Structure 1
Amino acid sequence: MKRTFKRGVVAALALGAVSVGALLNSGAAFAQQTIKVGWTIPAEESKYWMMKRPQEFTSLGKTYNIEWVQFQGTAPMTQALAAGALDCATQSPLALAQGVVGGNLKAYVVAQHVFEKPGSFSVYWAVKDDSPIKTIADLKGKTLSINTLGSGIYGPMAILLKQAGLDASKDIKLVEVGFALSEEALRSGRVDSAVMNQPFAARMEAKGGTRKLFSLSQQQEGIVHILEACRADFVDKNPDLAKAYVRDLTSGMQKALANRDETLKVVNEVMKAPIPVLETYLLKENDFARDPGAAPNFDAIQKMLDVYVETGMLPKKVDVSAWKNPSVVAPIK
């Protein structure tokens, strides 16, 4: 009986150890769920908060983790999404559409970072104060900068030139100049008109000697510059994980807008831009607009995609409704 009792105790202890081990392993496996997320600079404050203040979020670091991967633009992230190397990433509407049309990428738009609205900052082309260029029509035969040839801002620009009687492919010369170098290119005379984005526009305006020629808002109100997209197969296979991520993105946007002083510090830590420079524009009227819940504006995105078809940047119409998963889209609380 003693031997039988001992064997029973040993078996019970062994079973208990296995059960505890299984629970620990399953808990560890859940805690180790990791999302690979692509990001870039600038204007992703919700992500910057998640990177630099993870303790402020409900699920991040508790039920899932993020492997942050930095890129220099949205197009490389589109390729990484299509290859399955990323689960979610910052995208421009054009880059995502090109991935869908040409790369067989299937993705959902789950959140939005920045857009334009009346009164907010709008990407614009500047000229020097003493330039003879007064209207868009005066750009004929001139050299303009663009951040990347084929970037999403080309479509609205081409439409505006067309309305002024110019063909963007024939009547002007476009040269590729990064936003950070646009001001220098303009002041040195390398280009006649330079495209400006924040924070570089604020820096240039503070120095004086330049003026705005035209902005993208003249072509369309509500232009969406960057959004957040996740691979459809990732979301479909991991709906709870995807929801946790979008919930934290929603919270990140709310934190960024509610605590500007802390956001200045967070952005400084990420971008290494001095706080006095960030102070001149970040989350002010001369900055891009942000939806308080990071909600995507699908109607505005559709209008942009139609412009890209019109200007030949997309070979066929793309229906944005295929990019929406109603159960996994900001805001999620």
Structure 2
Amino acid sequence: MKKLLTALALSAATVAPVFADEIPILRVGWMIPAEEAKYLMLKRPELFPDLGKKYKIEWSQFKGTSPMMQALRAGALDCSTMAPLSMAQAYLESGLESYIVAQHAHEETGYFSPYWAVKKDSPIKTAQDLRGKIVGTNAYGSGMYYQMILWLKQNGLDYKKDVKIVETGFPPSADAIRTGRVDTGPLVQPFALLAEEKGDLRPLFTLSEVQSPTVYSFEGCSKAYGDKNPEVVRLYVKDLQRAMTMLLEDRKLAVEVTAEVTRAPAAMLDKYLFTNKDFTHIATMKPDIDAIQQLLTLQSNAGFLAKPVDVSEFVREDIMAPLN
């Protein structure tokens, strides 16, 4: 009997950690900017009762959506931030199948839209004035890069012949315009706000001229993971919605956690974050499937995609926001 009790005790001691390890782990990729719901989950996990109990998150930071698509394809991530074009290109070029599950940031009338600026006293007033000029972009191949090209094409310019495009990145873009390295360059928050306060630059065009509303980023999960673990994805999406609701109800909290993650001054973030000077945020985080389809159709017609993409192939409604 003693031997049996000892064996049972040892068995219980060894089984307990196994049960703990059976809490499913979701590997999530994130980046800066415009992922405030994730920032809150990352920095304040205690606000989410299911997180750590019903599922766990293993967070990994990336510099953009393209490398996250590669990580999803390699099986190193389960969910990550996506942009319409990066999702479609990953599907067409490498066969990555995924589901759109929640929307992070979009633009609509009355809210901030990324724009290309010129010097305040620049003679450049219209698209035609850009012929022979140098145009900056955040990064070759990014979603904003292709939207800029769409704007050029819509205004009758050949982006390969009529202008020269160079990379500036977002932080150095304003200085690149001021010093003449580029004639026009892209501004997003908070760099747009800083430039506006200085007053030496002015907008030339906004991406809302290409399409409005425009979806800039959303959360996606690999189809393989979503089909195998739909309940884990549902828990995650519900927590994203919970996070966004909290942030919309308490803008001070949004500024606080964003400052912690980005290390940007809270006073600066407070000037635009979750106001009409920022991207649009909605508590439901419901993806605008029609807007995503419209943008991909524009990009396909422009030759940026090898063939048309049907966004309905990336939808599984039982794991997509809004979820009750």
| Superposition TM-score tier, normalisation by shorter sequence | over 0.9
Q: Secondary structure at the match of 1:27?
A: helix
So what's the TM-score if we normalise by structure 1? 0.93
Q: CA deviation at 1:109?
A: 0.7
> Of 259, 267, 273, which aligns to 1:268?
259
User: What's 2:51 paired with?
Assistant: 60
- Distance in 1 separating the partners of 2:11 and 2:3: 14
> Of 255, 271, 284, which aligns to 2:246?
255
Q: Which has more radius of gyration?
A: 1
- Distance in 2 separating the partners of 1:42 and 1:154: 17
- Distance in 2 separating the partners of 1:191 and 1:246: 41
Q: Which moved more, 1:44-53 or 1:195-204?
A: 195-204
Q: CA deviation at 1:239?
A: 1.3
- Residue 311 (1) aligns with residue 299 (2): no
User: What's 2:16 paired with?
Assistant: 24
Q: CA deviation at 1:65?
A: 1.4
So what's the TM-score if we normalise by structure 2? 0.95
- Residue 288 (1) aligns with residue 291 (2): no
- Residue 90 (1) aligns with residue 81 (2): yes
Letter matched to residue 215 of structure 2: V
- Residue 157 (1) aligns with residue 148 (2): yes
User: What's 2:36 paired with?
Assistant: 45
Runs of at least 5 residues in structure 1 that lack an aligned partner in the other structure: 1-6
- Distance in 1 separating the partners of 2:27 and 2:150: 36
Q: CA deviation at 1:328?
A: 0.4
- Distance in 2 separating the partners of 1:332 and 1:27: 28
- Residue 144 (1) aligns with residue 135 (2): yes
Letter matched to residue 27 of structure 1: F
Q: CA deviation at 1:93?
A: 0.8
Q: 8 Å contact 2:81–2:218 — kept in the other structure?
A: yes
Q: CA deviation at 1:253?
A: 1.1
Q: CA deviation at 1:150?
A: 1.6
- Distance in 1 separating the partners of 2:13 and 2:314: 41
Q: 8 Å contact 2:138–2:145 — kept in the other structure?
A: no
Q: Which moved more, 1:81-90 or 1:160-169?
A: 160-169
User: What's 1:4 paired with?
Assistant: none
Q: Secondary structure at the match of 1:185?
A: helix
| Matches for 1:67-86 after TM superposition, within 5 Å | 67-86=58-77
1:206-251 per-position Cα deviation (integer Å, ceiling 9, x unaligned): 1111111111111211111111111111111111111111111111
Q: CA deviation at 1:155?
A: 3.1
Q: CA deviation at 1:114?
A: 0.2
- Residue 182 (1) aligns with residue 182 (2): no
Q: Secondary structure at the match of 2:22?
A: helix
1:98-140 per-position Cα deviation (integer Å, ceiling 9, x unaligned): 1000011011011110000001101110011110001111111
- Distance in 1 separating the partners of 2:303 and 2:149: 10
Q: 8 Å contact 2:119–2:177 — kept in the other structure?
A: yes
CA-based RMSD of the aligned residues comes to 1.7
Letter matched to residue 152 of structure 1: G
Q: CA deviation at 1:63?
A: 1.7
Q: CA deviation at 1:26?
A: 5.4
